[in-house]
Amino acid sequence: MTLKNTWWKILGAILLVYVSIMGLAGEVPRQPILNETIRNVYFHVPMWFSMMTLMTISVWRSIQYLRTGDIIRDQQAIAFASTAFYLGILGFITGAIWGKFTWGSALPADPKLIAVEVGLLIYAAYFILRGSFEDEQKKARLSAVYNIFAFAAFMPLVWILPRVTDSLHPGNGGNPAFGKYDMDNQMRMVFYPAVIGWVLVGIWVASLKARIIKLEYNKLNQ
């Protein structure tokens, strides 16, 4: 446990403490309809960023597994995918609460909601696929193939569909860009650390999970 390997965990934890305090107590601009719910931008939006990062790492680990056949890579792929799944559910819930107060409906028909629902379905199918094999290597190889294939089919849905259809989310109907959020500089001072903090803590949780899976695997194969 040297500082060299743990600095990013400490950074992530400190950032989230800062975000929790500033996010709940800091100054936010008064916007019509949004009112105080604008604080949710510190918690809802970073969930999405963190989920995407973890999914990408998971797919990268699956590719590495297929190239090397190292079972540890596959354990990391499943750990990152399941953490991304929980972050997706959290993002979905925070979004539904936010939507209820601003759009008047928790689940409107919106391309981004469709995207996250499809993403959750894909990963649920991935977990069930893993459960249906006994042999470790076969399970690892087939689920790695599915993980890569599903990710490639999922990405266009996330990046293209919101751009060609109208969405309730800010900055949509054209290019979903940052500048369109109704944020002032003070909010950015909290928002960017929030994104970094959630991504780092997400990676931390996932790597802990990977270590647990590895220990369980070793125990089974003793």
Partner 1 sequence: MREILALLQKDITLEWRNKYAFNGMILYLVSTVFICFLSFRIKANSLSPVVWNTLFWIIILFTAINAMAKSFAQENQNRQAYYFTLASPEAIIISKLIYNFILMLFLAVVGFGIYLAFLQNPVQDMPMYILSVVLGALGFSGTLTLISGIASKAENTTSIMALLSFPIIIPMLLMLMRLSKNAMDGLAFSVSQDEILTLLGLDAIVLALSFILFPFLWRS
Summarize as ranges the residues that interact with partner 1 (CB under 8 A). 66, 114, 118, 121-122, 125, 128-129, 132-133, 137-138, 141-142, 144-146, 148-150, 152-154, 156-157, 160-161, 164
Tell the smallest beta-carbon distance from residue 17 to partner 1 (Å).
Answer: 37
Q: Shortest distance, CB of residue 115 to partner 1, whole angstroms? A: 9
Please, what is the minimum distance in Å from the beta carbon of residue 66 to partner 1? 5
CB of 128 to partner 1, least distance (A): 6
Q: Please identify, using beta-carbon distances, which residue of 66 and 97 lies nearer to partner 1.
A: 66
**Residue (74 or 201) nearer to partner 1, CB:** 74
Nearer Cβ to partner 1 (97/161): 161
Nearer Cβ to partner 1 (12/88): 88
Give the nearer residue to partner 1 in terms of CB position, either 29 or 108.
108
Q: How near is the Cβ of 126 to partner 1 at its closest, in Å?
A: 8
Q: What is the 3-state secondary structure (H, E, C) of the chain?
A: CCHHHHHHHHHHHHHHHHHHHHHHHCCCCCCCCCHHHHHHHHCHHHHHHHHHHHHHHHHHHHHHHHHHCCHHHHHHHHHHHHHHHHHHHHHHHHHHHHHHHHCCCCCCCCHHHHHHHHHHHHHHHHHHHHHCCCCHHHHHHHHHHHHHHHHHHHHHHHHCHHHHCCCCCCCCCCCCCHHHCCCCHHHHHHHHHHHHHHHHHHHHHHHHHHHHHHHHHHHHCC
